């Protein structure tokens, strides 16, 4: 599938924001992005406009573009949206998924049992598993929304990485999800996905609390 320059720029810049290469509040310079991404001004501007709609950047007329802050008070909104849409996508995946999808997921999960896997490698496996389920659901509107929501969750994970519990356990939950998908058990798969998202939400909330209660947070 061909990807437009604007689409590629969107994903590249969003990845920089999610991974905190562009931190909250940072100024986003178009000329720097053009050099870094090797693309022109128009794709960059189109990407930034889309990133503003997805609330990753804030564009202030005559002042510039800034990376949006992370409002932890919106964790509830993020959780309740994902907890509604992800199980629905999973039910669709049960009905529409092909053996090839579950083979891909099996291959991805093989990486989580390798000794010495880093937290960054594990979160990448988690993302791949979600993307496979979205692909199996075969609904591009749903996929686009879930992709944006996952990126927002991923950004929070990177921000509080040091405080989040063992990522391996969260990734291994996908093994049970995969078993339910292969069995075409929509109820079980949807319930497991909802529990998986709840676990992530609880981990992030606990990490945020520890961060706010830290003596360093007051300085």
Binned at pLDDT 50, 70 and 90, residue 209 comes out as: confident
pLDDT digits (tens, 9 = 90+) for 173-187: 999 999 999 999 999
Cα Rg of the chain, angstroms: 18
Binned at pLDDT 50, 70 and 90, residue 169 comes out as: confident
Class of domain 5-67: mainly alpha
Helix, strand, coil percentages in the chain from 3-state DSSP, rounded to 5: 75, 5, 20
The DSSP bridge pattern shows strands 57-60 and 27-28 to be: unpaired
Q: Among 88, 18, 8, which residue's Cα sits nearest to residue 50?
A: 8
Mean pLDDT calculated for residue range 164-181: 85
Outline where DSSP puts E strands in the chain. Answer: 27-28, 57-60, 64-67
Q: What is the residue extent of each domain of the chain?
A: 5-67, 72-215
- Burial state string for 100-128 with b = 16 or more CB within 10 A and e = fewer than 16: ebbebbeebbeebeeeebebeebbbbbbb
* CATH (residue range 72-215): 1.20.120.530
């Amino acid at each position: 599938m061909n990807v437009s320059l604007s689409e590629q720029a969107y994903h590249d810049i969003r990845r920089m924001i999610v991974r905190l290469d562009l931190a909250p509040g940072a100024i986003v310079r178009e000329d720097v992005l053009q050099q870094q991404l090797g693309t022109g001004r128009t794709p960059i501007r189109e990407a930034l406009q889309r990133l503003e709609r997805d609330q990753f950047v804030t564009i202030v007329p005559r002042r510039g573009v800034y990376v949006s802050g992370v409002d932890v008070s919106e964790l509830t909104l993020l959780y309740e949206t994902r907890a509604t849409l992800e199980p629905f996508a999973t039910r669709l995946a049960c009905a529409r998924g092909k053996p090839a999808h579950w083979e891909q997921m099996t291959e991805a999960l093989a990486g989580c049992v390798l000794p010495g896997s880093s937290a960054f490698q594990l979160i990448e496996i988690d993302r791949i598993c979600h993307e496979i389920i979205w692909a199996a659901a075969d609904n591009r509107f749903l996929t686009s929304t879930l992709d944006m929501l996952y990126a927002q969750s991923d950004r929070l994970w990177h921000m509080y990485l040091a405080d989040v519990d063992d990522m391996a356990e969260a990734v291994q939950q996908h093994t049970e999800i995969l078993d339910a998908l292969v069995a075409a058990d929509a109820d079980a798969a949807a319930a497991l996905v909802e529990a998986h998202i709840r676990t992530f939400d609880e981990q992030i909330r606990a990490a945020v609390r520890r961060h706010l209660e830290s003596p360093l947070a007051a300085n």
